[in-house]
Chains A and B, each alone.
Chain A
């Protein structure tokens, strides 16, 4: 036997390790970046980080290929050919910044709302929203309108929190986890880690999803619901629980508005509003006194159910009475919904029984005394260990807001929110319902050379908060906060290009976007979007959208349709803050935030967008970005802003290491050494709440007092869950003809239907409006765990794993359609037709076809070769999805969105699938190949690290 070779067991393949925060998706894990001679050689999860606790995902570990991508931009560009031609001239930054400043300055001094500033997968909305406010335009939002605003709005109007990453299941104590729809993007590693914990403990995991991929693959039970009908399924479970009296009456009575009295006065202006006394206080019925008392009377014998007559003669019912009447109706019984939702009635009944069993017979009790907001002392924390989570599978339907509200109703009826084993809030949530921020942008709030008096985005509570012009038309270019979408809390980015090109409600002068691939996978109806982006005014010959400024790190499809390109850095080359003012990374056990630090210097002529934005702001002399002497307030760029900006006295982007000596948290003076303190702490900060504050946060006296002092909420008042949502009823009353501000006649019927204060289900619009016989199937996308949006599918490693997509069809249905595995098929909607290649499977709802999201690329982008499979075999469903609904009576075309929130209804798509007559190995539609503007080579790939295993 020959002697074994000597192996170097302790090679040191790095000379430095730096911590920072991942940006391969919205999860924002802590990472350790290994560097050798200034080159990134390895990226590892940071064990000390609250989000990922050392693990890393398929995307995160491929970050090295994102950072060194040949698709990166390298220099500012200005368009010299026609839009879409890809003809650009490289320019210096000074010229780029002067050009942007000149374009924006002209808008600001004439009509600031003619700037539409929208950002994509941005993680600096604390800055960008503030910048828009200082500029003075209401036309600002991030991409939430086409992402998941339904989840945010439904949660924030119901329980002061949200799914999303604004809360999480209590992975440690949950015994039953119900997951709705595709959830493989947000909260990616925490959910995976959580599922691992559930598996280990033997908790049951039920996945409700038309498609059995991703997390659904390891579910103990898969419920293959038909897309857009989750609300029917949930409603039938609620029906079963109510029928059996399996509800947490105590939780409902104490912590929700279930016993609040609602006026029953049909046809009158106060119908459906809460009954209030002369002091404006809401009321409950005291069953002992047989009289109404204020809801603040905690000693009252609160009637959960019942209809009563107030001393002044007004007829009232408790909120829960109305909810029970709604859901006990026969149309919500399992047998009545089974056919439409595709779930057997027996399955619905069994799941309802399981939920009731776990909630009420397998309670979790923690020996932690706490005090509720009424001062009542509880010896223990008793939890109902049922947790739920949902994301875009629920969100991206035109009935998503009400469906998500129905899920929250189910969670709350079982008494699970923020109890041990339930769904837990993460700071800064819970917040008042809805948060006390109103949108800004009414006609008297927009003035040349003036900032807005408040932020563009907020939460309306009645028609008086809408942003309407004097004639009642929308104030915003995307029509958010108009009668088209009154609660559009995240704006409607998906409508900006269409509306601007149609000058409906008005034309704009500058479209300024960041990291949003709006000429490709982030647009509905791409063919028309490209027309809108290149449309010219017949009289002047100028583009109807005159100027487009775009910032991106990569040569994405959108680059070709902009006029001025501001090349951004990669995530490893920049400062960032993951802020409690934006979308934080908090844990349920306490608030957290984090930073990115540059771990390498860019070798290209690029600048971080946030620093560029502050630079432009100072050149425009925007208040807040300029000193009284007229100089830049943050000459050090974004890191200077992160440390020194104060939103309110003592409140800045980062909550940790505040105060001049760095010892304060939450509130405190700016600390000049704050960033170093974060770096020394692994680029993150976390405060663990004491045990008595960890649960029941919405009604936990100690927590509410702490949160007030910390600056998360304004007052230590309880956050009472609003199962009955009065703001919705106010819009409905307006539509019924009450009040000074009423919708146009063509809008009344849909407002009356959709703005029901009690959650309910209605058919998604597309299915309702197109011929279901002609388009019998649903088509949706799923998120591959190793990809996130368009960034991932250009990654040299990740594209080896998934370089193209297929159209997946149920075997049984494919056989009926004469489609075999590997056939090319056409998918046709009322909007258009695409061709893709079929794969057959069992684990999909038979009425549904699906594909992976955002794999398809346009030829000649992202530093990929023109014959890359992403472009030649890959495809997008986007071509099939109209951003507008078909005309209704009166000819008006509503946006293809949820009528409450304006959430883009991507998943309502109805299609017909047929074997293609053309079986050639290429997808359609194909668009002309673009000129790649990436750096074209990967320095890291050209110079791989030397072998180091030689002993």
Chain B
């Protein structure tokens, strides 16, 4: 059984704000276009012009309408789904060839395409559905956290971030070291009550999600109701007009 590093120097990961994500798919297509020529190249598609176009994507956005308990009100949530780079990922330990591994340096979970045999055991082991089988290549594909961008010296330092984070128009995606409690992402998780997906599975995901904020569709404290119609509106407006004159 492939071993996991006891600890990693960093815990690089994503923090995804479900309150701000509008489901625009920018992160999905940016991921696809970078990775189809990056570490995971190619992410080739099948039946691109036909009835069932499909291919591997390392990041997919799902939209859910979540009903409130009354069954009438609802909240629309856009949920980006990709590898969570777990601290104890079953997808690594289940791999029969050792192709799946977790980097000791930064905690990124990767697949070595040279030794992956495409047996799909890892995709069965992952409860998050984060791994996809590439039919054309015969290997598994997954989020690399853009390992070939974040350290890439050919980029300006500010561009050394995952393609999905760089793309996100609403700023709902954040990248950083979740092992450093002082990092911006750790602080954000703390402030906003960031949470793990399926913590009960025990895989300790590195990526965190920020919950939607409470709706504000009820009377707010400190905002006075306007006076009800009492037939004196015109008087009020004339008085207002008079006050304007005294200012002239």
Interface residues of A (CB under 8 A from B): 1-2, 4-5, 7-13, 36, 41-45, 47, 52, 54-62, 64, 70, 188-189, 192-193, 195-197, 199-200, 204, 212-218, 220-222, 240-247, 249-250, 253, 287-288, 299-306, 324, 328, 333, 347, 349-350, 352-354, 356-357, 785-786, 796-801, 803, 812, 841-843, 863-865, 867-869, 872, 938, 941, 944-949
Contact = CB atoms under 8 A, between A and B. Distances in A.
B139 to A, nearest CB: 11
A244 B224 CA distance: 11
Given A61-B29, A196-B20, A944-B41, A243 B233 contact: yes
Given A7-B148, A287-B245, A842-B73, A58 B25 contact: yes
Contacts of A304: 237, 240-241, 244
B182 to A, nearest CB: 20
Interface in B219-248: 219-220, 222-227, 229, 233-234, 236-245, 247-248
Q: Can you list the 8 inter-chain pairs with the closest CB atoms, starting with the nearest?
A: A58-B25, A217-B76, A192-B169, A196-B170, A842-B74, A944-B42, A245-B236, A786-B25
Given A11-B148, A196-B171, A865-B50, A243 B244 contact: no
A770 to B, nearest CB: 30
Contacts of A2: 2, 98, 101
B215 A243 contact: no
A4 B226 contact: no
A802 to B, nearest CB: 9
Contacts of B236: 243-245
A799 B42 CA distance: 19
23 contacts: A1-B3, A8-B148, A45-B167, A54-B166, A59-B29, A62-B29, A199-B17, A204-B216, A216-B76, A218-B22, A243-B233, A244-B236, A245-B233, A250-B247, A287-B242, A306-B238, A796-B49, A842-B74, A865-B51, A941-B48, A947-B113, A949-B38, A949-B113
A532 to B, nearest CB: 30
Interface residues of B, number: 98
B185 interface: no
A42 B245 contact: no
Contact of B171 (A41, A188, A193, A212): A193
A44 B44 CA distance: 20
Interface of B: 2-3, 5, 17, 19-26, 28-30, 32-34, 36-42, 44-45, 48-51, 53-55, 57, 61, 63, 65, 67, 72-78, 98, 101, 103-104, 110, 112-114, 147-148, 151-154, 158-159, 163, 166-172, 212-213, 215-217, 219-220, 222-227, 229, 233-234, 236-245, 247-248
- Residue from A7, A12, A197 with most neighbouring chain B CB atoms (10 Å): A7
Given A61-B167, A324-B237, A796-B53, A56 B247 contact: no
Contacts of A357: 222-224
A220 B241 contact: no
A245 B239 contact: yes
Contacts of A8: 39, 148
Given A7-B39, A938-B48, A328 B233 contact: yes
B53 A55 contact: no
B172 A249 contact: no
A134 B33 CA distance: 44
Contact of A868 (B17, B50, B152): B50
A253 B61 CA distance: 50
B154 A12 contact: yes
B226 A5 contact: no
A70 B41 contact: no
A245 B240 contact: yes
B170 A192 contact: yes
Nearest to B111: A5
B172 A9 contact: no
A842 B65 contact: yes
A868 B49 contact: yes
B7 to A, nearest CB: 13
Contacts of B219: 350
B103 A58 contact: no
Given A287-B245, A867-B51, A949 B148 contact: yes
Nearest to A802: B25
Given A11-B38, A350-B219, A941-B48, A195 B229 contact: no
B234 A13 contact: no
Contacts of B229: 243, 333
Contact of B215 (A58, A221, A869): A221
B226 A353 contact: yes
B14 to A, nearest CB: 16
Nearest to B224: A353
A217 B151 contact: no
B188 to A, nearest CB: 10
Contacts of B61: 801
A249 B245 CA distance: 10
Contacts of B152: 9-11
Contacts of B101: 2, 4-5
A869 B32 CA distance: 22
B41 to A, nearest CB: 5
Nearest to B18: A218
A70 B37 contact: no
A936 B33 CA distance: 22
A244 B243 CA distance: 15
Nearest to B223: A357
- Residue from B5, B170, B223, B243 with most neighbouring chain A CB atoms (10 Å): B170
Contacts of A196: 20, 169-172
A865 B226 CA distance: 60
A800 B234 contact: no
B238 A61 contact: no
B153 to A, nearest CB: 5
B233 to A, nearest CB: 4
Contacts of B239: 245
Contacts of A61: 26, 29-30, 32-33, 167
B56 to A, nearest CB: 11
Contact of B166 (A1, A45, A57, A945): A45
B48 A796 contact: yes
A250 B244 contact: yes
Given A58-B24, A220-B216, A246-B226, A70 B49 contact: yes
A204 B78 CA distance: 20
Nearest to A252: B244
B229 to A, nearest CB: 5
A249 B151 contact: no
- Residue from A244, A356, A803, A868 with most neighbouring chain B CB atoms (10 Å): A244
Contact of B76 (A1, A42, A212, A948): A212
Given A288-B245, A843-B76, A944-B36, A214 B22 contact: yes
A217 B78 contact: yes
A31 B23 CA distance: 21
Given A245-B237, A301-B245, 19 more contacts: A45-B166, A47-B158, A52-B169, A56-B30, A58-B29, A62-B33, A192-B22, A199-B17, A199-B20, A212-B76, A244-B226, A288-B245, A305-B238, A324-B237, A328-B234, A353-B225, A797-B29, A868-B49, A949-B41
